[in-house]
């Protein structure tokens, strides 16, 4: 589902309905991606 349903477009949205480890893994992956494209 497009993120626009939850507010303005152009932003990352994270679900907190995950296990803590899954959330940490996802955030780490986003950090790595942002470091590469910076």
Percent of the chain at pLDDT above 70?
92
Q: Average pLDDT in the 7-24 region? A: 84
Placement of tokens 């996802």 in the chain: 26
Question: What single DSSP character describes residue 7?
Answer: S
Buried/exposed 5-36: b ≥16 CB within 10 Å, e otherwise = eeeeeeeeeeeeeeeeeeeeeeeeeeeeeeee
Task: Provide the pLDDT for residue 2.
Answer: 63
How would residue 3 be classed by pLDDT, with cut points 50, 70 and 90? Answer: low
Q: What is the pLDDT of residues 21-38, one digit of tens each?
A: 999 999 999 999 999 998
Q: What is the pTM of this model?
A: 0.64
């Amino acid at each position: 589902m497009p993120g626009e349903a939850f507010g303005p477009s152009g932003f990352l949205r994270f679900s907190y309905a995950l296990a803590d480890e899954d959330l940490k893994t996802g955030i780490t992956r986003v950090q790595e991606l942002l470091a590469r494209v910076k």
